[in-house]
Amino acid sequence: MKVSVVGAGSFGSAVADLGTRCNHDVLLWAHDPKVAEAIETTRSNPFYLPSLRFSDRLSVTASLSDIASFSDLVVMAVPSHHYRTVLSQLAEHIHYPIRVVSATKGIENQTLKRMSQVTAESLPDRLECFGAFSGPTFAIELSRGDPTAAVIASRDAHFAEEMQARLSSDTFRLYRSDDVIGVELAGSLKNVIAIAAGVLEGIGLGFNTNAALITRGLHEIRRLGMALGGRPETFAGLAGMGDLVLTCTGSISRNRAVGVELGKGKKLETILTETRLIAEGVKTCKSAHDLAQRHQIEMPIIREMHSLLYEGATAKESIQRLMTRTLKPE
C-alpha cells in the first residue's frame, strides 16, 4: 500500500514511520521546504523528532501535487487551524475520489466544525471515505516502537477494517469504531483538560487535585460529546479516558507543558513564542467554550480555562471558582 502523510511535525513523522514499519511506501509532505530537505538529507526530522530514523521506504516532498499523485490514501496530520487551508490546496491537485484519515485533534474556531466536517466540505465530490485516528499516542514513544494502542473510527466499516489490518503491527494495536463524532471530540477536548492539569502542577498542587480534574474533565467531555452525537462508551475508551490520562499526566505532553508555564505565571503569548511545537488545546479551548454555550452544556473546567487563556484570569482565581461552585450530586 502507498500512503501519503500531510504534515511533517512530530506526530506526522511518527505516523509516516509507522506506515513504513507496516511495510508500506510512504510519502511525507512538509510545509517548510527546509524541513523536507533536512529529512531527505539526514533521514531524520531534526526540527520536530530528532530521535527518529526514517526507513528507505519513506520519501519526502514539499509539493502537494506530489502527494495527490502518489496515493489515494491521505493521512492529514496538520494543526486544526491549518487543516482546511492545506486540504483545500491539496484538492486542487486531486482528480479522483480519495480516502482520508485525520490524525488531527482539534475543532475549527470560526465554524466549530470537526475535521470530518471540514474534510467533507473541502472534498465535496472527491471523498471516498473518511476515518479519524486517535488515542494515547505520544509521537516519540510511537516512533521508537513502544507497545501502543489507538483507534480508527469510520462510518465505512470496510475502510475501518482495512486500516486496522494494514496499520497494526507487533508493537501497535489499532482498534476500530464507527463513532467518528465521539472519537474526534474526545481527542480534541482532552487537550484543554491537559492544559488545566499542567496549571495545577505549575502552582504546586498535587495528585489529589489532578485526579479530581481528570475525572471531572472526562465528565465534561462526555457531556458535550454525547450532546453532539457521540456514544458514552467511546469516552471510556482509548480516544477518551486513555488519551486524557496520557495527556494530563505525561511529562512530555505539549498541552500540559503550556499549562505548567501558565501556572507559574508566564503569559500565554510568551509561552507560545518560545516553542515550534503546537499545543492544540489553546485554540480548541475557544471552540469548546463556544460549543458549550451554543448547546447550553455546563462545562466549568472549560469555562475557567477560557477565562485563564483569554480573559485575564489567574490560575488561583479559576481554581477558587471551581471549588466554590454550588454543591451537587455526582
**Residue 287, φ and ψ in degrees, nearest 5:** -65, -45
Q: How far is CA 229 from the centre of its chain?
A: 19
DSSP sequence for 264-279? TT--HHHHHHT-SS--
Provide the pLDDT for residue 278. Answer: 84
List C-alpha distances in Å: 181 to 77, 170, 302: 18, 28, 19
pLDDT, tens only, 188-231:
999 999 999 999 999 999 999 999 999 999 999 999 999 999 99
User: What average pLDDT does the chain have?
Assistant: 96
Enumerate the H helices of 114-156 as residue ranges.
115-122, 139-143
Q: Considering the entire predicted model, what is its pTM?
A: 0.96
| Neighbour count for residue 23 (Cβ, 10 Å) | 11
Q: Please check whether residue 177 is in contact with residue 183, taking contact to mean a CB–CB distance below 8 angstroms.
A: yes
pLDDT, tens only, 5-21:
999 999 999 999 999 99
The rounded distance, in Å, linking the Cα atoms of 180 and 114 is 10
| Neighbour count for residue 315 (Cβ, 10 Å) | 20
Residue whose entry in the numeric block shows the C-alpha cell 496499520: 167
The rounded distance, in Å, linking the Cα atoms of 298 and 39 is 46
pLDDT, tens only, 144-176:
999 999 999 999 999 999 999 999 999 999 999
The residues facing 263 across adjacent strands are none
Q: Please check whether residue 223 is in contact with residue 162, taking contact to mean a CB–CB distance below 8 angstroms.
A: no
Provide the pLDDT for residue 121. Answer: 98
pLDDT band at 305 (very low <50, low <70, confident <90, very high): very high
Residue whose entry in the numeric block shows the C-alpha cell 518560545: 274
Active site residues: 190
The DSSP symbol for 242 reads I
pLDDT band at 274 (very low <50, low <70, confident <90, very high): confident
Q: How many Cα atoms sit within 13 Å of 228 on the Cβ side?
A: 27
Which structural domains are found in the chain, ordered by start? 2-178 (3.40.50.720), 181-323 (1.10.1040.10)
The rounded distance, in Å, linking the Cα atoms of 187 and 239 is 6
